[in-house]
Amino acid sequence: MQQDALIAAPEPTRIKRVARVLIDSSVPHLDRLFDYEVPASMAEHAHPGIRVKVPFGPQQLAGFIIEILDDHPSPMKLRPLAKIVSDQVALYPEVIEAASEVATRYAGTLWDVVRLAVPARAAKVEKEELATTAPTLPQGPNQIERYEHGPEALEAWGTGATLRAVATWVPNMQGFWPGFLMDAARPVLERGRRVLIIVPDARDLKILGDYLDAEYGAEAYARLQADDGPTPRYRNFLRAIGGHVQIVIGTRSAALCHVPDLELMIIWQDGDQSHRELRAPYQHSREVALLRSAQAEVSLLIASPARSVEAQRLVATGWATELKLPRDLLREHTPRVVATTNDFELERDPLLARARIPSVAWREASKALERGPVLVQVARTGFVPAVACQDCRTLARCTQCQGPLHIAGKQSHLACRWCGEQFHDYRCQNCGSPRIRAASIGAERTAEELGLAFPKVSVISSTGAKPVGKISAKPALVVATPGVEPIAEAGYSAVLLLDADRMLAHDSLRNAEEVLSRWFGAACLARSDGVVVLTGNPSPAGASLVRYDPASFAERELAERREVGLPPAVRSAVITGQGAQRLIAALDVPTRARVQIHGPTVIDGPPIEHKYVLFFSYADGPEVTSALRHLRSTMSASKDPLVNIAVDPDNVL
């Protein structure tokens, strides 16, 4: 019987060439490669990494050839490739390997990672002759030599040895932060090798691009950014993957770009939330860089004026070398930081009431305006973004939708931020009082008050809606929200950090870390002979700023989170959706034993969803994320309710 069965079994069909294709689909159970026959007419042009169209059910889908198999046996008849879209190789093996690791780490699908790594095709660009440009490198001292362990880092990067470092950038050394990054890149560029620099957002990319234009020339680098449009972006992509430039810069999607002879990756301000991808699988460019560094033995530099807790963990575990300036040089190049409280009674000081700054800040700003511009950082935009009852301090809410009330401008009435309902005769819903007070002062109101307090000085407002890029060295008051502070030509003579207590009051695991990063981001814009005034009550974050020592705060945060078992001392995952309960119940016993599961909490619908928070060790991370990825794929194939998995999110609480 067994012999008859063996004789009756059909032999597999042998096909001359088979293409293994990654198709354009984010469906979890389709997250694998599919085999297609390569027709003889396409055999010459079918290579790994090119774009193709393939039949899939009743439709045709885009995809990439990942592998070509010659003389491959197949148990079934394969459908042929439908079309070769382009013979330009756009997806390289190292990118596929890195993307696979990212998808595994974040429990996502491979296509979701790849579509971010390779931009959309612009056919006419592939016909262009792209010039190869070598940058003219500046001569002179390298500021990194003055950092502790800086000479060792430069020597390693200059000889091609792999070295990972975390640097706390200090201003007023040799130009602005782009000069620091390029000083790190210089030893690599001098050897003809290549550098990839990732920055948080378009604003930082423009600052870096302007510096490179002036110092290296506009053709010396490739810039990868979605805002540039499909044609310029694809042209720069081809310049980068083709090795036509030695310097590649970009935002988070560029972290997976193929760069030939890549020897150094640089991540600027890794604590910025813009480094987190907003679409599944929600990867962070710092983690992508860490995976690529380990996979391909590429050097890595994480640099920032502040210090993220994740970066501090790399230093604490010995995975990265710390680059910091000695204290004597730190005092020489950083502004003086003054901390103050708001205990002074406002009604006793009319100038204080008008300017909404403490007396110390008032004096420092007055003196600083004689020498140059003064930056005032406020927490929120708008005029009066939040209103409360004068008597019982209850926040004012709309009687129609319970939305927060605000005052949009000087001539505006009290109105709801959600539905727009106006209130000409508002009374507190708690105590009935008609009296209201500002619970929060926005940038526009602050600018108006400062204009009254300093009538002879121009006031400039910079917010997310109306950002200002640069200002001159003339005396001026600049009111800005965090992240959009203009750059002063010669630096600010003073920086006032208002609303400190309000900024620290948000209930979030990472809030203090993020606030301190904003403070250091503003403080680094001050001149070395300037002053930074921090308002509010004493806090560990404020003490770190006064000492100009962000690493000490990150070290403290890391120690506290280790004690209570919170990220980044451990890894985490947030599971949400209608199928969350089913997924958690399906976790096998060995995996469940290694995971702390918190939940479920109910997310109001409709439809009603559930949320779970998972904590697990770094050693168990690959097993846990692989299990989550497999379960979501299984549930997708069974048409169970979909779940959303966010691994290592910025905030789990």
What is the reported pTM? 0.89
Is the peptide bond prior to 281 cis by the omega test (within 30 degrees of 0)?
A: yes
pLDDT, tens digit, for every residue of 557-594? 999 999 999 999 999 999 999 999 999 999 987 778 88
* DSSP code of residue 58: T
Does residue 343 have a pLDDT over 60? no
Q: What is the mean pLDDT of residues 331-342?
A: 85
Supply the pLDDT for residue 381.
65
d(CA 239, CA 258): 11
Residue 532 in contact with residue 497, Cβ under 8 Å?
A: yes
Tally of CB atoms within 10 A around 246: 26
SS3 382: coil
Among the ranges given (198-212, 307-321, 550-564, 606-620), the one the predictor scored with the smallest mean pLDDT: 606-620
Supply the pLDDT for residue 419.
80
Is the peptide bond prior to 600 cis by the omega test (within 30 degrees of 0)?
A: yes
Place of tokens 């599961």: 597
Does residue 544 have a pLDDT over 80? yes
Residue 598 is encoded by which pair of tokens?
């918190």
Tell me the Ramachandran region of residue 277: left when phi exceeds 0, alpha when psi lies from -120 to 50, beta otherwise.
Answer: beta
Q: What is the mean pLDDT of residues 78-97?
A: 96
pLDDT, tens digit, for every residue of 108-136? 999 999 999 999 999 999 999 999 988 88
Residue 443 in contact with residue 481, Cβ under 8 Å?
A: yes
Tally of CB atoms within 10 A around 480: 25
Place of tokens 């042209």: 235
Q: What is the distance of C-alpha 221 from the center of its chain? A: 22
Per the model's pLDDT, the better-predicted residue between 43 and 73 turns out to be: 43
Is the peptide bond prior to 606 cis by the omega test (within 30 degrees of 0)?
A: yes
d(CA 585, CA 312): 35
Side-chain-side CA neighbours of 416 within 13 Å: the count stands at 14
SS3 379: coil
Residues 6+ apart with CB under 8 A from 560: none
Residue 247 in contact with residue 264, Cβ under 8 Å?
A: no
d(CA 139, CA 150): 18
Supply the pLDDT for residue 355.
41
Residue 147 is encoded by which pair of tokens?
């950092």
pLDDT exceeding 90 applies to what percent of the chain? 69
Does residue 2 have a pLDDT over 50? no
Q: Determine the straight-line distance between the first and last CA of the chain, rounded to whole angstroms.
A: 63
Q: What is the DSSP string of 231-270?
A: HHHHHHHHHHHTT--SEEEESGGGGG---TTEEEEEEE-T
pLDDT, tens digit, for every residue of 497-511? 988 888 888 778 899
d(CA 558, CA 352): 39
Residues 6+ apart with CB under 8 A from 380: 440, 441, 442, 443, 481, 499
Three-class DSSP labels, 574-614: EEEECCHHHHHHHCCHHHHHCCEEEEEEEECCCCCEEEEEE
Is the peptide bond prior to 607 cis by the omega test (within 30 degrees of 0)?
A: yes
Does residue 427 have a pLDDT over 50? yes
Beta-sheet pairing, 164-168 with 299-304: parallel
pLDDT exceeding 70 applies to what percent of the chain? 92
Q: What is the DSSP string of 612-635?
A: EEEEE-TTTHHHHHHHHHHHHHHH
Q: What is the DSSP string of 178-211?
A: HHHHHHHHHHHHHTT-EEEEE-SSHHHHHHHHHH
pLDDT, tens digit, for every residue of 376-386? 998 876 666 67
Q: Which band of pLDDT confidence, cut at 50, 70 and 90, is reported for residue 350?
A: very low
Helix residue ranges per DSSP H, 540-579: 540-547, 550-564
SS3 337: strand
Side-chain-side CA neighbours of 223 within 13 Å: the count stands at 23
Does residue 3 have a pLDDT over 60? no
Supply the pLDDT for residue 443.
63
Which sign, positive or negative, has the C-alpha torsion 159, 163, 169, 170? negative
d(CA 525, CA 560): 31
Which sign, positive or negative, has the C-alpha torsion 542, 543, 547, 550? negative
Residue 639 is encoded by which pair of tokens?
């048409």
d(CA 302, CA 164): 8
Element containing residue 288 per DSSP (H, E): helix 285-296
Residues 6+ apart with CB under 8 A from 634: 29, 586
pLDDT, tens digit, for every residue of 243-299? 999 999 999 999 999 999 999 999 999 999 999 999 999 999 999 999 999 999 999
Q: What is the mean pLDDT of residues 74-101?
A: 93
Residue 211 in contact with residue 158, Cβ under 8 Å?
A: no
Per the model's pLDDT, the better-predicted residue between 356 and 66 turns out to be: 66
Average pLDDT, the chain: 89
Supply the pLDDT for residue 239.
97
* DSSP code of residue 42: G
d(CA 513, CA 498): 17
Per the model's pLDDT, the better-predicted residue between 560 and 414 turns out to be: 560
d(CA 376, CA 535): 11
Residues 6+ apart with CB under 8 A from 549: none
Does residue 488 have a pLDDT over 50? yes
Query: Counting beta carbons within 10 angstroms of the beta carbon of residue 57, is it exposed (0 to 12), middle (13 to 18) or buried (19 or more)?
Result: exposed
Give the C-alpha distances (Å, rounded to integers) separating 284 from 310, 360, 449: 11, 40, 40
Q: Which residues pair with 597 in a beta bridge?
A: 614
